[in-house]
């Protein structure tokens, strides 16, 4: 069983009363984590010296923060020390004093820990370099490659939003340009890793039109600066990049939706982002949906409760804390109901899935649950009611309502845009595809048939004596007739690949991929019979008492480069002319 507790450290002597608790455990079965809201080197040196003197030989990993978490409560500018005391789990720390080559740092840590076969590795990396947030992807990717079965957790150091310098440390030293990590090894250790984003995409899709690594030069052929100014306003543009933290770019990678924020603005209007992009990638702006946070907190609680949890650590992005303010306990409090909880707010989060996929997140909340006993934890929360004494602030209620308004409006706009797009492809009268869509798809089907060497058939049909029908019964009746015919033919063409379009006036066309002449003739006869069965009375027709159609069919057994859309249409039209010359209400077919 794991014993876990935290204290607020203020001065020398604060650690002494705890010695008796740690004396019961071997140093190799103990881990001390330090979350320092005081980013001054002198403060860190003092607390680290006190820890190593009071508890010699105990592994330590520490970091500066942008906010601290202890017992489910959030603070700023404090030093929180968390103690993990294991019965069976062995702990080993490592200190890397460089981050010029993060892949090398990850490889070094992985090779050092490989023989330990760790169940989990907690990683703290420095978060700022040259006044820019560090992209921890190479570090975490290489570490995961070396330790594919190990759960990775942790985050990058913060400095309360100053973006000047950050520190990480172990019992071996302190660095402003490196990594601290601890391996947890033991056959009885149960590890549960969870994450929550709660940022959702909004607005239209945007395309990266020029990028090189983490530097993006143009999005939708305009500089990121101009893009942010256009969508978020001059005030946001003037405060970039920090002012845009509430509206990161959303992108999906490896099946995971990720939020990516800007780290710096360059003189040419390009932006440096925390992740790399590729030209052609599509993304959207995102925003933190406050209404989803409570739901996500419940889901996180439920997922964590699926396995035993005796100690929990939260490594969360500082942007969540900035946006929610005092309401940040909406997501912190529920996890604190499961087990003793500590952690910090960071400049990027390290995370791995059970599948072995590793991620460097931003804007995300991650939680690491640990236990040594495989036993169920009685739930402390009933019916999903977290922190019952808490009353939602007016700000959070307003945010939730605002975000619901934005989400609903965005969804409705998306539906309208989808409908408009469909209308641009569809004939307004019949609902069939129009000539514009036909031209594009017909050309694709000809190319596909040429590649696959499969037959391609085309049916061109014309309503017999339709002008007389309109003159006799009126244009409303004529429109109803065409609409009814379209519905009937759509019932016959059941394959998704079959293309049925209104060609113009009373003419229709069917493009039938992988259909030979016999198959096309069979379909045409079905269409002919189906239209006759509609029984649209046509007293002025010279071939029937009801509306009928004449059809011309052309089948290409093998399509070659000389066969164009016009080529097929002219050949079909010739067969249609033969059908009309033969008395109408009939089908004429031919093969190329």
Could you tell me if 332 and 324 are in contact, meaning their C-beta atoms sit under 8 angstroms apart? no
Determine the pLDDT at residue 101: 97
What CA–CA distances, in Å, run from 283 to 219, 263, 387?
10, 17, 36
Return per-residue pLDDT of the chain as tens, 592 residues: 899 999 999 999 999 999 889 999 999 999 999 999 999 999 999 999 999 999 999 999 999 999 999 998 999 999 999 999 999 999 999 999 999 999 999 999 999 999 999 999 999 999 999 888 899 999 999 999 999 999 999 999 999 988 899 999 999 999 999 999 999 999 999 999 999 988 888 778 889 999 998 899 999 999 999 998 998 888 888 888 777 777 889 988 877 888 988 888 888 889 998 888 888 888 998 877 766 777 777 788 888 888 899 999 999 999 888 888 877 888 888 888 899 999 999 999 999 988 788 999 988 999 999 999 875 554 444 433 445 455 566 656 666 666 666 667 667 777 777 666 665 778 878 888 888 888 889 999 999 999 999 999 999 999 999 999 999 999 888 998 998 899 889 889 989 899 999 998 999 999 999 999 999 999 999 999 999 988 999 999 999 999 999 999 999 999 987 899 999 999 999 999 999 999 999 999 999 8
Task: In whole angstroms, give the CA distance from residue 588 to residue 552.
Answer: 5
Task: List, in sequence order, every residue forming a beta bridge with 311; answer none if it has no partner.
Answer: 370
Using DSSP bridges, classify how beta strands 549-556 and 587-591 pair: parallel, antiparallel or unpaired: parallel
Determine the pLDDT at residue 380: 46
User: Which residues have a Cβ under 8 Å from the Cβ of 464 and sit 6 or more positions away?
Assistant: 538, 541, 543, 544, 547, 548, 549, 550, 584, 585
Dihedral over Cα of 449, 450, 451, 452: its sign: positive
Determine the pLDDT at residue 130: 86
Burial of 363 (0-12, 13-18, 19+ CB in 10 A): buried
Could you tell me if 559 and 578 are in contact, meaning their C-beta atoms sit under 8 angstroms apart? no
DSSP string covering 38-104, please?
---HHHHHHHHHHHHHHSTT--EEEEE-SSEEETTEEESS-EEEEEEE-SS-EEEEEEE---SSHHH
Dihedral over Cα of 510, 514, 515, 517: its sign: positive
Task: In whole angstroms, give the CA distance from residue 227 to residue 218.
Answer: 9
Q: Is 158 helix (H, G, I), strand (E, B) or coil?
A: coil
Structure-block tokens of residue 285: 């702006």
Q: Is 115 helix (H, G, I), strand (E, B) or coil?
A: helix
Determine the pLDDT at residue 477: 86
Task: List, in sequence order, every residue forming a beta bridge with 549; answer none if it has no partner.
Answer: 463
Closest CA to 207 of 217, 192, 197, 199: 217
Query: Strand runs (DSSP E) across 127-189, as ranges?
Result: 128-129, 132-133, 151-156, 168-170, 173-175, 179-185
Closest CA to 242 of 298, 322, 166: 322
Determine the pLDDT at residue 205: 84
Determine the pLDDT at residue 406: 66
What CA–CA distances, in Å, run from 255 to 171, 251, 258, 315, 359?
38, 10, 9, 22, 12
Determine the pLDDT at residue 379: 44
Long-range contacts of 574-583 (CB under 8 A, 24+ apart): 575/460, 576/460, 576/461, 576/462, 576/550, 576/551, 576/552, 577/552, 578/552, 579/550, 579/551, 579/552, 580/462, 580/550, 583/543
Task: In whole angstroms, give the CA distance from residue 149 to residue 139.
Answer: 16
Q: Is 418 helix (H, G, I), strand (E, B) or coil?
A: helix
At residue 318, φ and ψ (nearest 5 deg) are: -65, -25
Determine the pLDDT at residue 464: 95
3-class DSSP string for 220-270: CCECHHHHHHHHHCHHHHHCCCHHHCCCCEEEEECCEEEEECEEEECCCCC
Could you tell me if 248 and 275 are in contact, meaning their C-beta atoms sit under 8 angstroms apart? no
Structure-block tokens of residue 302: 């439920």
Closest CA to 153 of 392, 405, 344: 344
Structure-block tokens of residue 377: 């934890």
Q: Is 18 helix (H, G, I), strand (E, B) or coil?
A: helix
Q: Is 146 helix (H, G, I), strand (E, B) or coil?
A: helix
> Could you give the residue numbers annotated as active site?
506
Task: List, in sequence order, every residue forming a beta bridge with 588; answer none if it has no partner.
Answer: 552
User: Which residues have a Cβ under 8 Å from the Cβ of 559 and sit 6 or more positions away?
Assistant: 446, 449, 450, 453, 456
DSSP string covering 435-459, please?
HHHHHHHHHHHHHHHHHHT--EEEE
* pTM for this model (two decimals): 0.69
What CA–CA distances, in Å, run from 185 to 182, 194, 347, 370, 371?
10, 20, 27, 12, 12
For the chain, the maximum distance between any two Cα atoms, rounded to a whole number of angstroms, is 109
């Amino acid at each position: 069983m794991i014993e876990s507790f935290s204290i607020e450290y203020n001065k020398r002597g604060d650690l002494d009363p705890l010695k008796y608790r740690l004396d019961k455990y071997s140093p190799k079965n103990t881990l001390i984590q330090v979350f320092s809201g005081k980013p001054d080197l002198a403060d860190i040196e003092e607390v680290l010296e006190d820890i190593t003197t009071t508890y010699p030989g105990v592994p330590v990993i520490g970091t500066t923060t942008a906010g601290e978490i202890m017992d489910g409560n959030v603070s700023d500018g404090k030093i929180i020390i968390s103690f993990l005391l294991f019965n069976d789990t062995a702990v080993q720390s490592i200190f890397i004093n460089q981050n010029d080559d993060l892949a090398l740092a990850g490889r070094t840590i992985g090779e050092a820990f490989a023989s330990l076969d760790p169940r989990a590795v907690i990683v703290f990396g420095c978060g700022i370099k040259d006044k820019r947030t560090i992209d921890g992807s190479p570090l975490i990717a290489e570490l995961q490659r070396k330790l594919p079965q190990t759960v990775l957790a942790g985050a990058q150091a913060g400095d309360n939003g100053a973006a000047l310098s950050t520190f990480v440390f172990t019992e071996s030293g302190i660095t402003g340009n490196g990594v601290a990590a601890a391996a947890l090894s033991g056959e009885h250790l149960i590890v549960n890793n969870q994450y929550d984003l709660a940022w959702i995409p909004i607005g239209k899709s945007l395309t990266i039109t020029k990028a090189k690594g983490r530097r993006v030069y143009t999005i939708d052929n305009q500089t990121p600066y101009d893009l942010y100014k256009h969508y978020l306003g001059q005030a946001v543009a003037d405060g970039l990049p920090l002012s845009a933290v509430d509206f990161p770019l959303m992108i999906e990678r490896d099946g995971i939706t990720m939020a990516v924020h800007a780290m710096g603005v360059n003189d040419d209007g390009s932006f440096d982002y925390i992740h790399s992009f590729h030209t052609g990638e599509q993304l959207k702006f995102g925003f933190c949906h406050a209404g989803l946070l409570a739901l996500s907190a419940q889901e996180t609680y439920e997922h964590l409760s699926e396995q035993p949890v005796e100690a929990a650590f939260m490594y969360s992005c500082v942007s969540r804390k900035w946006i929610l303010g005092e309401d940040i306990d909406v997501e912190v409090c529920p996890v604190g109901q499961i087990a003793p909880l500590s952690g910090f707010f960071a400049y990027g989060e390290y995370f791995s899935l059970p599948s072995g996929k590793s991620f460097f997140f931003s804007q995300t909340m991650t939680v690491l649950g640990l236990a040594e006993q495989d036993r169920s934890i009685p739930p402390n929360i009933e019916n999903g009611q977290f922190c019952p004494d808490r009353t939602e602030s007016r700000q959070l209620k307003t945010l939730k309502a605002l975000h619901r308004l934005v989400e609903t409006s965005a969804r409705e706009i998306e539906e309208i845009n989808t409908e408009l797009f469909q209308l641009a492809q569809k004939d307004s009268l019949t609902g069939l595809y129009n000539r514009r869509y036909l031209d594009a798809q017909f050309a694709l089907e000809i190319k596909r048939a040429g590649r696959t060497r499969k037959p391609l058939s085309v049916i061109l049909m014309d309503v017999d004596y339709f002008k007389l029908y309109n003159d006799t019964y009126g244009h409303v009746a004529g429109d109803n007739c065409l609409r009814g015919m379209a519905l009937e033919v759509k019932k016959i063409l059941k394959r998704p690949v079959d293309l049925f379009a209104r060609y113009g006036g009373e003419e229709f066309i069917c493009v039938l991929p992988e259909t030979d002449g016999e198959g096309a003739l069979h379909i045409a006869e079905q269409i002919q019979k189906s239209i006759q069965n509609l029984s649209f009375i046509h007293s002025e027709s010279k071939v029937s008492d009801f509306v009928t159609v004449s059809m011309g069919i052309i089948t290409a057994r093998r399509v070659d480069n000389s066969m164009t859309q016009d080529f097929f249409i002219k050949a079909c039209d010739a067969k249609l002319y033969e059908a009309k010359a033969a008395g109408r209400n009939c089908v004429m077919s031919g093969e190329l």
